[in-house]
Chain A
Amino acid sequence: MKHEDFKDNEYIDKLVEELNASGTNVVVGKLDQLINWGISNSLWPFCFGTSCCAIEFMCLGAARYDMARFGFEVARNSPRQADYIMCQGTITYRMAPALKRLYEQMAEPKYVIACGACTVSGGPFKNSYCVVKGIDEIIPVDVYLPGCPPRPEAMFYALMQLQRKIKVQRFFGGVNRKEKRKEFFDAQQVAPAVEEAQEATSENLNNQE
């Protein structure tokens, strides 16, 4: 790929700059910026490696790539202390409830990076009988990172995209994002409820017969 072809998502920053220029509340605006700046530069990852990508994530933490430069180094083993979950590796049916639970245990604000082809879409295991075809079927995802496994450089890019997203989140509204998440989980809960209702009606029909 040529360098010019690479599309970075800078437009978000530009948009925010433009909007800011046309006037925001000076005090609140600055405070928002400060908070976002703080959050985005001290993102603590949650160690959640299920397979190959985890090894590359370890390389990210080691000396050559050294993610401490960007404030990502404080890898936490408890979801309650972490800011984002970088899901490294295939999620199977047996692991799915555990992942969902870990996500729920994390404190707000929380973010998700789907790292590697498996978590984006099921990857090479798409046709398997027990692999979740993308973790967005279980939890909402902020950044998708393809690759099998992604190189550490790519992981950096994903993390910096997340930082960029966080830096403008106050402007675009944390409120919107929360609403979306609520919709996401509501939709999941509706599905079985509908089925139950259908079953109930079919039973009624049978009884009538």
Chain B
Amino acid sequence: MADFQEKIGNLCPEAQFDDSGEFLLVTVPDEKWHNLATALKNEMHFDYLTALVGVDWKEELGVMYYLTNTDTQDMIHVKVATTDREQPRLHSVSDLWAVANFQEREVYDFYGIEFINHPDMRRFFLRNDWVGYPLRKDYDESPEKNPIPLDDEQNEDNTYRLVEDEDGNVTRIDGKVFEDEEYVINVGPQHPSTHGVMRYRTSIEGELVKKVDVVSGYIHRGIEKMCESLTYPQTLLYTERLDYMSAHINRHCLCLCIEKAMGLEVPRRAEIIRMTMDELMRLSSHLLSYGCLTMDQGATTAFFYGFRERELIYDIFDKTCGARMSMSYMTIGGVVADVHPEFINDVRHCCDVVTEKLKEYHKLFSGNVIAVNRMKGVGFLNKEDAINYAVTGPSGRASGCHCDVRKCHPYSLYNEVEFDEVILENGDSMDRYMVRMKEMEESIKILRQCCDMLEKEGIEGEYIAKVPKLIKLPAGHWYQQVEGSRGAFGVYLESDGDPKPFQKPYRLHFQSPCFNLVGVVDLTCKDNLIADLITITASIDFVIPDIDR
């Protein structure tokens, strides 16, 4: 840490340092930020922008950046802020880290911070005619300002960017999303193959895609704002409704983050149960993505195969948690109840069945001529782009990135189990599909070890730590990430140390993996056939509520 401090101090003398938190916090004035960011990326190899979080500190508006060095897995934390609330402006880093393009649009949408030199300043989640910036602390929530709209939304074709010249004068340049002569086809928001309410505006030439403009926000539910008015245990339920296919994993992440802030030790038994649930969830999620990917290509039978095995996992959840989906099982300090007496046997049985059936899946689909033709060599994403766009999870690993959080930043008991990180090199749709199939085998491996560990612990045991009824966190901020079914899921938690009995998070941000995944749709679909748009997006595999939050 001290090493970084010295280097950054040399690069930018104005920077202030604070190493009391988990990572080194660097506070940089906005004018110096872009130069420092360039040096951080090029000289110190911080090439992966893990999270970009907008925060309203009342007297100032700003952005928190979490950067990771993909070679050493070191992380640092940068804060940039402005005191101007009327016309807040910061410098964009979207030219350095491509993932910042959408992230900055999100911050613009929520806080009204404009980013200088950002290529495309438009709202991302909310309608074009939305009044106000909802995540600001002084946002007026009265329904008169924003009534339920019943008229169709007009396409936003106009965009603008702010350009700064050498003297520091900022000018606004208006532009168009699509040129007048372009032929634009609309896909969505209600389309069976977009896997939810997602909309692509696709400019095509003949049958080739030239540009995809992602229009998101059709399921934007304002979870982050709602969390600011709830106590910590109450916020847990929203994590399961983000990416419902990694419900346990997301909830695990928020629990870990709050536990880290409280300094709470979780019983070993609880951690084993949590890990087992996480892997079952991953298995279930990959089975679903297998089903959906195959169905998008017309293989309806394969879809039924995938769902047949998912029912086994649902039954396990049902017995222990009392629900098939949205289980609400993990809680701060452990899990809400001990596992069902038949849990271990059921998990073992499920592992055996899925291992057997995986062969059937491969036989049915993996070698199929149609599948191979439609997936092999389609939708390339190389390693550099994958890191630049912060693509993680199976899609990132298909491009050769070493990005499994379970290996890079081990949490829970993942350093005690043996499994391989599946990494393939080609980065096409086929590899993204194959990574998932192989990861299922790895999950089964972990599940078997979990069963042994749980058996060693005995039939019953302590499954929850002693947690105070009213949870209070000291002032500060924490970042926790876990490996979700679709990539690195992160939680940014900020507390103001409010002494009132029912403390609420000052800011809770979910860094969802799918948000980054949707950023590469334009890149991967470009110059492919319009029909392949569906297979490529299906192989990237995102869940829309996770993008929109």
Contacts and interface: CB of A to CB of B under 8 A. Distances in A.
B320 to A, nearest CB: 16
Contacts, number: 125
22 contacts: A47-B192, A50-B545, A51-B219, A52-B545, A55-B325, A62-B311, A77-B191, A92-B219, A93-B127, A94-B126, A94-B127, A95-B197, A96-B149, A102-B190, A124-B241, A125-B221, A125-B223, A128-B223, A131-B221, A138-B148, A151-B324, A188-B150
Contacts of A94: 125-127, 153, 217-218, 220
Given A50-B196, A51-B545, A58-B307, A92 B244 contact: no
A159 to B, nearest CB: 18
A129 to B, nearest CB: 5
Interface string A167-205: 000000000000000000000100000000000000000
A93 B152 CA distance: 11
Measured as residues with beta carbon below 8 angstroms from the partner, the interface class of chain B is 35 or more
A98 interface: yes
Nearest to B323: A151
B146 interface: yes
Contacts of A92: 217-221
A90 B303 CA distance: 25
B244 A51 contact: yes
A51 B241 CA distance: 8
A79 B134 CA distance: 33
Interface of A: 47-52, 54-56, 58-59, 62-64, 77, 89-90, 92-98, 100-102, 124-125, 127-132, 137-138, 148-149, 151, 188
A129 B222 contact: yes
Contacts of A52: 241, 244, 325-326, 545
B237 interface: yes
A35 B134 CA distance: 51
Interface in B135-152: 139, 141, 146, 148-152
B141 A129 contact: yes
A55 B244 contact: yes
Given A51-B545, A63-B307, A96 B221 contact: no
A90 B221 contact: yes
Given A49-B196, A93-B127, A128-B225, A59 B311 contact: yes
A55 B191 CA distance: 15
A56 B324 contact: yes
B288 A55 contact: yes
A90 B126 CA distance: 15
Contacts of A149: 325-326
A50 B198 CA distance: 9
Contacts of A95: 189, 197, 218-219
